[in-house]
Amino acid sequence: MTRLLQHTVSPQLKATLSYYTPGSMMPAHRHDHAQLSVLLSGGLREQTEQSAFDIATPGLCFKPLHILHSDQYGAQGTLIFSFSLSPELLTRFDKITSPRYQWQSRLTAGPRAGQASYLQALYHGQLDTLHDLFWDTLSECGIPQHTVRERQRPDWLVRAKKLLEEAEQPVSLSELATQQGIHPVYFSRAFKQYFHISASAYQQQLQLSKALRSMTQGLPLSDSAFHAGFSDQSHMSRAMKSRLGLSPGKLQKLFQAKQVKSVQYSTKSAS
């Protein structure tokens, strides 16, 4: 894991941007702080003693302190923005308002909480904005109707999503729907209903993850755009700036600056 950026928002709150290399794992561990995480790019599988979650962008999670969990990160790498909460901040919640552990699909929690907002605020050190983003994001945790495990997904939809993830280049969504024996309109509606993101937006998220992976390997931005299936570097730049809030050049500089500074979160032993 590489910690790309970090700011202390307040004595009780830190904001961090971290990148996990493709296919990497974090064995069972416990944090000595509560954590509120937003999955910005890529995917992961998180296992606890009671459950397992397979998460793809967009994703949101609140983890109380001392939850034992392990993580397996996606084939394209995983970019995560997180808030670390001190035990003192947690005392502001009672049993009713305190969010519980759960990964869920990410929906917009107010006008400030778009994907790009997190990276922009962190990159520019906008502490007031980060503080507001924290409360906006926390307010979305624990809403049952948005959970990623809320309903059984049709087999054809699971297959289609996997085909999107495994494709080396973007595919025609209408052709993908036809291959599954589903009308394209119904396909689009079902994808959004079950995954809380449109199929086209999800495919672009996959492209961004592939581009970020290439950038971490030091490839020129033009090559990163080509390998991710963008029409050209400008197309990738527009998509990345719109979705993540920073240009490819700025993100690549963050990766290059941290190549030899891979760090681990402070954790408590699982033993």
Domains of the chain: 2-148 (2.60.120.10), 155-257 (1.10.10.60)
Q: Are 122 and 5 in contact (CB under 8 A)?
A: yes
Tell me what the mean pLDDT of segment 168-195 comes to: 90
Q: Is the pLDDT of residue 41 over 60?
A: yes
Kindly give the pairing relationship between strand 43-48 and strand 34-41.
unpaired
Q: What confidence score (pLDDT) does residue 247 get?
A: 93
Indicate the average pLDDT of the chain.
84
More confident residue, 268 or 252: 252
Question: Can you tell me the distance from the alpha carbon of 164 to that of 58, in angstroms, rounded to the nearest whole number?
Answer: 15
210-220, pLDDT tens digit by residue?
999 999 988 99
Using CA atoms, how far apart are residues 233 and 247, in angstroms rounded to an integer?
Answer: 11
pLDDT at 193: 83
Strand partners, 19: 2, 79
pLDDT of residue 259: 59
Amino acid 195: pLDDT: 81
Contact 110, 104 (CB under 8 A): no
What's the pLDDT tens digit per position in 108-160? 544 455 778 899 999 999 999 999 888 888 877 755 443 444 457 889 999 99
217-258 pLDDT, tens digit each: 889 999 999 999 999 999 999 999 988 989 999 999 998 886
State the residue for tokens 């605020």: 121
Q: How confident is residue 198, by pLDDT bands cut at 50, 70 and 90?
A: confident
Sign of CA dihedral 141, 146, 151, 153: negative
Question: Which pLDDT does position 266 carry in this prediction?
Answer: 37
Question: pLDDT (tens digit, 9 = 90+) per residue, 56-111?
Answer: 777 888 888 888 999 999 888 999 999 999 888 877 765 545 667 878 775 554 44
Closest CA to 160 of 130, 185, 187, 124: 187
pTM of the model: 0.84
Tokens of 116: 């790009």
CA dihedral sign of residues 188, 194, 196, 201: negative
What percent of the chain is predicted at pLDDT more than 90?
A: 50
